[in-house]
Amino acid sequence: MTALVASLGRVVLDVMYALGHHAYFFADLLRNLPAAMRRPFLVVAQVHAIGNRSLVIILASGMAVGFVLALQMYYALAKYGAAESLGLVVNLSLVRELGPVVTALLFAGRAGTSLTAEIGLMKAGEQIAAMEMMAINPKSRVLAPRFLGGIVSMPILAILFSAVGILGAYVVAVLLIGVDAGNFWSIMQSGVDVQRDVGNGIIKSMVFGVICTFVALYQGYETEATPEGVAHATTRTVVIASLAVLCMDFILTALMFTTH
Protein backbone atom coordinates (compact mmCIF):
# COMPACT_ATOMS: atom_id res chain seq x y z
CA MET A 1 0.00 0.00 0.00
CA THR A 2 2.66 2.49 0.97
CA ALA A 3 4.63 1.43 -2.08
CA LEU A 4 1.71 2.48 -4.27
CA VAL A 5 1.46 5.88 -2.60
CA ALA A 6 5.22 6.29 -2.83
CA SER A 7 5.29 5.54 -6.54
CA LEU A 8 2.34 7.86 -7.10
CA GLY A 9 4.18 10.56 -5.24
CA ARG A 10 7.27 9.96 -7.32
CA VAL A 11 5.26 10.26 -10.53
CA VAL A 12 3.80 13.57 -9.39
CA LEU A 13 7.23 14.87 -8.43
CA ASP A 14 8.65 13.74 -11.77
CA VAL A 15 5.89 15.55 -13.60
CA MET A 16 6.53 18.69 -11.56
CA TYR A 17 10.22 18.46 -12.31
CA ALA A 18 9.57 17.93 -16.02
CA LEU A 19 7.24 20.94 -16.15
CA GLY A 20 9.75 23.11 -14.39
CA HIS A 21 12.53 21.94 -16.65
CA HIS A 22 10.39 22.71 -19.71
CA ALA A 23 9.60 26.16 -18.36
CA TYR A 24 13.25 26.88 -17.67
CA PHE A 25 14.24 25.73 -21.14
CA PHE A 26 11.55 27.92 -22.69
CA ALA A 27 12.67 30.94 -20.72
CA ASP A 28 16.27 30.29 -21.77
CA LEU A 29 15.21 30.07 -25.42
CA LEU A 30 13.37 33.39 -25.17
CA ARG A 31 16.38 34.97 -23.53
CA ASN A 32 18.55 33.97 -26.48
CA LEU A 33 16.14 35.17 -29.17
CA PRO A 34 17.55 38.73 -29.48
CA ALA A 35 21.00 37.32 -30.20
CA ALA A 36 19.57 35.15 -32.95
CA MET A 37 17.64 38.04 -34.45
CA ARG A 38 20.90 39.90 -34.92
CA ARG A 39 22.03 37.09 -37.27
CA PRO A 40 19.22 37.16 -39.80
CA PHE A 41 20.87 34.77 -42.20
CA LEU A 42 20.78 31.98 -39.61
CA VAL A 43 17.03 32.46 -39.23
CA VAL A 44 16.51 32.66 -42.97
CA ALA A 45 18.43 29.43 -43.48
CA GLN A 46 16.19 27.75 -40.92
CA VAL A 47 12.99 29.08 -42.50
CA HIS A 48 14.26 27.45 -45.66
CA ALA A 49 15.01 24.15 -43.96
CA ILE A 50 11.76 24.09 -42.01
CA GLY A 51 9.28 25.96 -44.15
CA ASN A 52 10.32 25.48 -47.76
CA ARG A 53 11.00 21.80 -47.25
CA SER A 54 7.50 21.29 -45.83
CA LEU A 55 5.76 23.01 -48.73
CA VAL A 56 5.19 19.90 -50.79
CA ILE A 57 3.47 17.90 -48.09
CA ILE A 58 1.43 20.85 -46.88
CA LEU A 59 0.20 21.82 -50.32
CA ALA A 60 -0.56 18.24 -51.31
CA SER A 61 -2.40 17.57 -48.06
CA GLY A 62 -4.28 20.85 -48.30
CA MET A 63 -5.55 20.04 -51.72
CA ALA A 64 -6.52 16.51 -50.69
CA VAL A 65 -8.36 17.76 -47.62
CA GLY A 66 -10.15 20.35 -49.75
CA PHE A 67 -11.29 17.66 -52.18
CA VAL A 68 -12.54 15.38 -49.45
CA LEU A 69 -14.27 18.13 -47.50
CA ALA A 70 -16.13 19.25 -50.58
CA LEU A 71 -17.28 15.73 -51.34
CA GLN A 72 -18.37 14.88 -47.82
CA MET A 73 -20.04 18.18 -47.04
CA TYR A 74 -21.91 18.17 -50.31
CA TYR A 75 -23.87 15.07 -49.46
CA ALA A 76 -24.70 16.31 -46.00
CA LEU A 77 -25.77 19.75 -47.20
CA ALA A 78 -27.66 18.57 -50.25
CA LYS A 79 -30.11 16.76 -47.95
CA TYR A 80 -31.24 20.12 -46.55
CA GLY A 81 -31.12 21.89 -49.87
CA ALA A 82 -28.16 23.92 -48.71
CA ALA A 83 -25.63 22.70 -51.26
CA GLU A 84 -24.93 26.28 -52.31
CA SER A 85 -23.34 26.88 -48.92
CA LEU A 86 -20.68 24.30 -49.64
CA GLY A 87 -18.01 26.95 -50.16
CA LEU A 88 -18.84 28.61 -46.88
CA VAL A 89 -18.75 25.38 -44.90
CA VAL A 90 -15.46 24.29 -46.42
CA ASN A 91 -13.89 27.67 -45.89
CA LEU A 92 -14.87 27.89 -42.25
CA SER A 93 -13.77 24.34 -41.54
CA LEU A 94 -10.40 24.98 -43.11
CA VAL A 95 -9.63 28.47 -41.94
CA ARG A 96 -10.82 28.04 -38.38
CA GLU A 97 -9.79 24.48 -37.60
CA LEU A 98 -8.33 22.17 -40.18
CA GLY A 99 -5.80 24.61 -41.59
CA PRO A 100 -4.01 25.37 -38.33
CA VAL A 101 -4.46 21.93 -36.75
CA VAL A 102 -3.66 19.61 -39.64
CA THR A 103 -0.73 21.80 -40.65
CA ALA A 104 0.54 21.64 -37.07
CA LEU A 105 0.26 17.86 -36.97
CA LEU A 106 2.03 17.48 -40.30
CA PHE A 107 4.62 20.01 -39.18
CA ALA A 108 5.28 18.07 -36.00
CA GLY A 109 5.77 14.94 -38.03
CA ARG A 110 7.94 16.37 -40.77
CA ALA A 111 9.80 19.36 -39.43
CA GLY A 112 9.57 18.51 -35.76
CA THR A 113 11.18 15.12 -36.08
CA SER A 114 13.91 16.42 -38.34
CA LEU A 115 14.73 19.18 -35.84
CA THR A 116 14.81 16.70 -32.97
CA ALA A 117 16.99 14.24 -34.83
CA GLU A 118 19.36 16.94 -36.06
CA ILE A 119 19.92 18.40 -32.63
CA GLY A 120 20.04 15.01 -30.94
CA LEU A 121 22.74 13.88 -33.36
CA MET A 122 24.66 17.12 -32.94
CA LYS A 123 24.62 16.42 -29.22
CA ALA A 124 25.67 12.80 -29.74
CA GLY A 125 28.56 13.90 -31.96
CA GLU A 126 29.73 16.31 -29.27
CA GLN A 127 29.14 19.29 -31.57
CA ILE A 128 27.13 21.06 -28.86
CA ALA A 129 29.88 20.43 -26.29
CA ALA A 130 32.47 21.68 -28.79
CA MET A 131 30.51 24.89 -29.23
CA GLU A 132 30.28 25.39 -25.48
CA MET A 133 34.02 24.91 -25.13
CA MET A 134 34.53 27.52 -27.83
CA ALA A 135 32.59 29.96 -25.65
CA ILE A 136 29.67 29.98 -28.07
CA ASN A 137 26.25 29.56 -26.54
CA PRO A 138 24.60 26.71 -28.43
CA LYS A 139 21.17 27.94 -27.43
CA SER A 140 21.62 31.19 -29.32
CA ARG A 141 23.61 29.79 -32.23
CA VAL A 142 21.70 26.57 -32.86
CA LEU A 143 18.37 26.56 -31.03
CA ALA A 144 17.08 30.12 -31.21
CA PRO A 145 17.34 30.47 -35.02
CA ARG A 146 15.42 27.20 -35.40
CA PHE A 147 12.79 28.42 -32.97
CA LEU A 148 12.30 31.62 -34.94
CA GLY A 149 12.31 29.67 -38.19
CA GLY A 150 9.48 27.46 -36.93
CA ILE A 151 7.41 30.36 -35.63
CA VAL A 152 7.71 32.18 -38.95
CA SER A 153 7.07 29.12 -41.11
CA MET A 154 4.02 27.70 -39.42
CA PRO A 155 1.47 30.48 -40.04
CA ILE A 156 2.56 30.72 -43.66
CA LEU A 157 2.13 26.98 -44.08
CA ALA A 158 -1.30 27.06 -42.42
CA ILE A 159 -2.45 29.90 -44.68
CA LEU A 160 -1.27 28.02 -47.73
CA PHE A 161 -3.01 24.85 -46.54
CA SER A 162 -6.33 26.66 -46.18
CA ALA A 163 -5.98 28.55 -49.46
CA VAL A 164 -5.11 25.43 -51.43
CA GLY A 165 -7.89 23.55 -49.66
CA ILE A 166 -10.46 26.12 -50.72
CA LEU A 167 -9.19 25.96 -54.29
CA GLY A 168 -9.36 22.19 -54.19
CA ALA A 169 -12.91 22.35 -52.88
CA TYR A 170 -13.78 24.76 -55.69
CA VAL A 171 -12.47 22.28 -58.23
CA VAL A 172 -14.59 19.47 -56.81
CA ALA A 173 -17.68 21.49 -56.04
CA VAL A 174 -17.94 23.64 -59.14
CA LEU A 175 -16.12 21.70 -61.81
CA LEU A 176 -17.01 18.18 -60.76
CA ILE A 177 -20.27 18.29 -58.84
CA GLY A 178 -21.73 21.34 -60.53
CA VAL A 179 -22.42 23.77 -57.70
CA ASP A 180 -22.85 27.26 -59.06
CA ALA A 181 -19.51 29.10 -59.05
CA GLY A 182 -20.97 32.49 -58.31
CA ASN A 183 -22.90 31.27 -55.29
CA PHE A 184 -19.92 29.27 -54.14
CA TRP A 185 -17.86 32.42 -53.74
CA SER A 186 -20.53 34.92 -52.76
CA ILE A 187 -22.09 32.88 -49.97
CA MET A 188 -18.58 32.16 -48.74
CA GLN A 189 -17.65 35.82 -48.80
CA SER A 190 -20.72 36.93 -46.90
CA GLY A 191 -20.24 34.36 -44.18
CA VAL A 192 -16.53 34.49 -43.45
CA ASP A 193 -15.22 37.35 -41.35
CA VAL A 194 -11.57 38.26 -41.82
CA GLN A 195 -10.92 39.24 -38.23
CA ARG A 196 -12.88 36.54 -36.58
CA ASP A 197 -12.16 33.57 -38.79
CA VAL A 198 -9.01 34.16 -40.79
CA GLY A 199 -7.39 36.22 -38.03
CA ASN A 200 -8.11 33.74 -35.27
CA GLY A 201 -6.94 30.93 -37.48
CA ILE A 202 -3.61 32.69 -37.92
CA ILE A 203 -3.30 33.27 -34.20
CA LYS A 204 -3.94 29.58 -33.66
CA SER A 205 -1.26 28.59 -36.13
CA MET A 206 1.25 30.89 -34.45
CA VAL A 207 0.54 29.30 -31.10
CA PHE A 208 0.86 25.85 -32.64
CA GLY A 209 4.12 26.90 -34.27
CA VAL A 210 5.55 27.84 -30.90
CA ILE A 211 4.38 24.57 -29.38
CA CYS A 212 5.64 22.24 -32.10
CA THR A 213 9.02 23.92 -32.51
CA PHE A 214 9.58 24.18 -28.78
CA VAL A 215 8.78 20.50 -28.17
CA ALA A 216 11.03 19.45 -31.05
CA LEU A 217 13.95 21.53 -29.81
CA TYR A 218 13.52 20.43 -26.20
CA GLN A 219 13.40 16.72 -27.06
CA GLY A 220 16.42 17.02 -29.31
CA TYR A 221 18.50 18.96 -26.81
CA GLU A 222 17.62 16.91 -23.75
CA THR A 223 17.88 13.53 -25.37
CA GLU A 224 20.30 10.82 -24.43
CA ALA A 225 23.13 10.89 -26.93
CA THR A 226 22.68 7.37 -28.30
CA PRO A 227 20.88 6.01 -31.37
CA GLU A 228 18.04 4.64 -29.22
CA GLY A 229 17.88 7.94 -27.39
CA VAL A 230 17.44 9.87 -30.60
CA ALA A 231 14.82 7.41 -31.84
CA HIS A 232 12.80 7.77 -28.65
CA ALA A 233 13.16 11.52 -28.75
CA THR A 234 11.75 11.82 -32.27
CA THR A 235 8.78 9.66 -31.29
CA ARG A 236 8.18 11.78 -28.22
CA THR A 237 8.33 14.93 -30.29
CA VAL A 238 5.50 13.81 -32.53
CA VAL A 239 3.36 12.45 -29.72
CA ILE A 240 3.78 15.33 -27.29
CA ALA A 241 3.52 18.05 -29.93
CA SER A 242 0.40 16.49 -31.46
CA LEU A 243 -1.35 16.09 -28.12
CA ALA A 244 -0.40 19.60 -27.05
CA VAL A 245 -1.69 21.05 -30.31
CA LEU A 246 -5.01 19.25 -29.97
CA CYS A 247 -5.45 20.39 -26.37
CA MET A 248 -4.55 23.98 -27.20
CA ASP A 249 -6.93 23.83 -30.14
CA PHE A 250 -9.79 22.98 -27.83
CA ILE A 251 -8.88 25.79 -25.45
CA LEU A 252 -8.38 28.35 -28.21
CA THR A 253 -11.56 27.38 -30.01
CA ALA A 254 -13.52 27.73 -26.80
CA LEU A 255 -11.98 31.14 -26.23
CA MET A 256 -12.30 32.44 -29.75
CA PHE A 257 -15.37 31.00 -31.32
CA THR A 258 -17.97 30.55 -28.63
CA THR A 259 -20.10 33.56 -27.84
CA HIS A 260 -19.80 34.71 -24.26
Partner 1 sequence: MGKKGIETMVGVFVLLGLVGLVFLALKAANLGTFNAGSTYSLVARFDNIGGLKRQAPVRTAGVTVGRVVKIELDKKSYQGLVHMEVDSRVEFPKDSSARILTAGLLGDQYIGVEPGADDKNLAAGDVITQTQSAVVLESLISQFLFNKAADAGAGEAGGAKK
Partner 2 sequence: MSTDTLIEIDRVTFGYDKGRTILNDVSLRFERGKVTSILGGSGCGKTTLLRLIGGVYPATQGTVRFDGEVVDARDIEQLFRLRRRLGMLFQFGALFTDLTVFENVAFPLREHTDLDETMIRDIVLMKLNAVGLRGAAALRISEISGGMARRVALARAIALDPEVIMYDEPFAGLDPISMAVAANLIRTLNDTTGATSLIVSHDVQECFSICDHAYLLSSQGRVVAHGKPAQLNASEDPEVRQFIRGEPDGPVRFHYPARPLAEELGLGA
Q: Which residues bind partner 1 (CB under 8 A)?
A: 41, 44-45, 47-48, 51-52, 55, 91, 95, 153, 155-157, 159-160, 162-164, 166, 185, 188-198, 202, 259
Which residues touch 225 (CB under 8 Å, ≥6 apart)? 120, 123, 124
67: number of Cβ within 10 Å:
17
Axis crossing angle, helix 200-221 with helix 227-257, rounded to the nearest 10: 160
Q: Which of 14, 126, 193, 224 is close enough to bind partner 2 by CB under 8 A?
A: 126
Determine, following the binding rule CB under 8 A, whether residue 22 of this chain makes contact with partner 2: no
Residues 93-122 that bind partner 2 (CB under 8 A): 122
Determine, following the binding rule CB under 8 A, whether residue 14 of this chain makes contact with partner 2: no
Determine, following the binding rule CB under 8 A, whether residue 130 of this chain makes contact with partner 2: yes
Residue 41's binding partner out of partner 1, partner 2, none, with CB under 5 to 8 Å set by partner kind:
partner 1
Q: Kindly indicate which of the ranges 132-140, 156-164, 218-226, 244-252 contains the residues binding partner 2, using the contact rule CB under 8 A.
A: 132-140
Determine, following the binding rule CB under 8 A, whether residue 1 of this chain makes contact with partner 2: no
Minimal distance in Å, beta carbon 95 to partner 1?
7
Determine, following the binding rule CB under 8 A, whether residue 30 of this chain makes contact with partner 2: no
Of 220, 91, 216, the closest CA to residue 166 belongs to: 91
Residue 156's binding partner out of partner 1, partner 2, none, with CB under 5 to 8 Å set by partner kind:
partner 1
Minimal distance in Å, beta carbon 93 to partner 2?
40
Question: DSSP string covering the chain, please?
Answer: -HHHHHHHHHHHHHHHHHHHHHHHHHHHHHHHHHHHHT-HHHHHHHHHHHTGGGHHHHHHHHHHHHHHHHHHHHHHHHTTT-GGGHHHHHHHIIIIIIHHHHHHHHHIIIIIHHHHHHHHHHHHTTHHHHHHHTT--HIIIIIHHHHHHHHHHHHHHHHHHHHHHHHHHHIIIIIII---HHHHHHHHHHH--IIIIIIHHHHHHHHHHHHHHHHHHHHHHTS-SSHHHHHHHHHHHHHHHHHHHHHHHHHHHHHHHS--
Residues 135-154 that bind partner 2 (CB under 8 A): 135-136, 141
Residue 55's binding partner out of partner 1, partner 2, none, with CB under 5 to 8 Å set by partner kind:
partner 1
Which residue's CB is nearer to partner 1, number 80 or number 250? 80
Residue 119's binding partner out of partner 1, partner 2, none, with CB under 5 to 8 Å set by partner kind:
none
Minimal distance in Å, beta carbon 202 to partner 1?
8
Q: Kindly indicate which of the ranges 133-141, 151-159, 202-210, 223-231 contains the residues binding partner 2, using the contact rule CB under 8 A.
A: 133-141
Residue 225's binding partner out of partner 2, partner 1, none, with CB under 5 to 8 Å set by partner kind:
none
Q: Which of 1, 4, 5, 133 is close enough to bind partner 2 by CB under 8 A?
A: 133
* Distance, CA of 62 to CA of 66 (rounded, Å): 6
